Amino acid sequence: MRRTALALLILPFLAACSHIATRTASQVDTTHFKRVYVQHLLTDGKGIDQLIARELRKRGYDASAGPIQLMPAGTDALILYQDRWTFDFTDYLIRLDLEVRNTQGDKLLAEGYLDKPSVAGNNPVDMVDKLLDRLFKPRGPAFPTPPPAPGPESTSPMS
CATH class of 17-135: alpha beta
Mean predicted confidence (pLDDT) in 46-60: 95
> What are the residues facing 91 on neighbouring strands?
87
Domain ranges of the chain: 17-135
What does the alpha-carbon distance between residue 117 and residue 120 come to, in Å, rounded to a whole number?
A: 9
Q: 85-99 pLDDT, tens per residue?
A: 987 777 888 999 999
Average pLDDT value for the chain: 82
pTM given for the model: 0.79
Q: Is the pLDDT of residue 34 over 70?
A: yes
- Chain mean position to CA 143: 17
- Amino acid 150: pLDDT: 56
Contact 102, 68 (CB under 8 A): no
- Amino acid 158: pLDDT: 41
For the sheet with 77-87, list strands across it. 19-24, 108-115, 91-102, 77-87, 35-39, 62-66
> Which is more confident, 106 or 154?
106
